[in-house]
Amino acid sequence: MLDRESRKPVGADLIIPVAAGAYAIYYVLSVRSFPWQAQMSGMILAGLMLLLVLIYLARVAIGLRRGRYSMGFGDFFGAPASRASRAIFVALIVAYIFAVPYLGFTLTTFAFLALSFHVAGARPVGRALLTAGLAALGGWFFFIVLLNTRFPKGPFEQLMGAIF
């Protein structure tokens, strides 16, 4: 048996198998009332998935019993110093998804980039704002003006459309 510090933390390693196993069970439940021809392929896949998950869980259980593994998360969340800024970054991504239908691509991208640069620690602020502005305008010009890509449009795109 290894000492506490030398044990390999496997807590985070269980996220994918547990999520995959849970989805396989949900999938089986969602097809349970179908005719068997429609169930078959899904059932085989779910069966394979659950078999692999069970083998993995058995491996982890044996490792825990023999003292080779621990249920810790190791460096899963990265360096503690940057955890808060990365959590805010994730929140900004969610905010971007909710804001883009209203503000459009250019304004949302500018706000997202400026705030993300600031949160990530980019200094001086003026350079970060300038980079965000140039990137958003460059994206607007390249994707919307030149390529006519179907990006979400907001007040800025409408204003530019009215002017030009």
Partner 1 sequence: MEFDAAFITGLFLHSFSLWWVIIPAVLIGIVMGAIPGFAAHNTIIILLPLTLALDVEVALVFMVALYSASHLGGGIPAILLNIPGTGGAAATTLDGYQMTKNGQASKALAVCFVASVMGGLISSIVTLFALPALSRVGYYVHSVEMVVIMLFGLALIASIAAQDMLKGLIAGAFGLMLGAMGADHIYATPRGTFGFLELFDGVPLVPALIGLFAISEALVMLEQKWLVDTKGTVAVPATTWANSLSETLQAFRKWWLITWTSLLGLVIGVLPGAGASIAAFVAYQQARLFSKTPERFGTGFSDGVAAPEAANNGVTTGTLVPLLAIGVPGGSTAAVMMVVLQFHGFPFGPRLFVEAPELAYGVITAMAVSYVFMFLTIVPMVRYMSRITVVSTMYLAPMIVAFTLVGAFVPRGFLFDMGIAFAFGIIGYVARKTGYHVAAILIGVILGPLIERSFILAMRISGNDPMVMFSSTIGNILWVLLLLSLLLPVVTGRWRDRRAKAAGRSTGASR
Residues that bind partner 1 (CB under 8 A): 12-13, 15-17, 19-20, 23-24, 26-27, 30-31, 34-35, 37-38, 40-42, 44-46, 48-49, 52-53, 55-56, 59, 75-76, 78-79, 82, 85-86, 89-90, 93-94, 96-97, 100-101, 105, 109, 112-113, 116-117, 120-122, 131, 135-136, 139, 142-143, 147-152
Q: Which residues of 8-28 are buried (b: 16+ CB within 10 A; e: fewer)?
A: eebeebbeebeebbeebeeeb
In this structure, are residues 101 and 41 in contact, taking their beta carbons and an 8 Å threshold?
A: no
Distance in angstroms (rounded) separating the CA atoms of residues 104 and 96:
10
- Nearer CB in complex with partner 1: 2/29: 29
- Nearer CB in complex with partner 1: 84/159: 84
In whole angstroms, the minimum distance from the beta carbon of 67 to partner 1 comes to 19
In this structure, are residues 113 and 161 in contact, taking their beta carbons and an 8 Å threshold?
A: no
In whole angstroms, the minimum distance from the beta carbon of 42 to partner 1 comes to 6
- Nearer CB in complex with partner 1: 6/85: 85
In this structure, are residues 116 and 94 in contact, taking their beta carbons and an 8 Å threshold?
A: no
Which tokens in the block code for residue 104?
Answer: 């459009």
In whole angstroms, the minimum distance from the beta carbon of 163 to partner 1 comes to 23
Q: List phi, psi (to 5°) of 139.
A: -60, -45
In whole angstroms, the minimum distance from the beta carbon of 76 to partner 1 comes to 5
In whole angstroms, the minimum distance from the beta carbon of 159 to partner 1 comes to 19
Find the distance separating the first CA and the last CA of the chain, reported in whole Å: 73
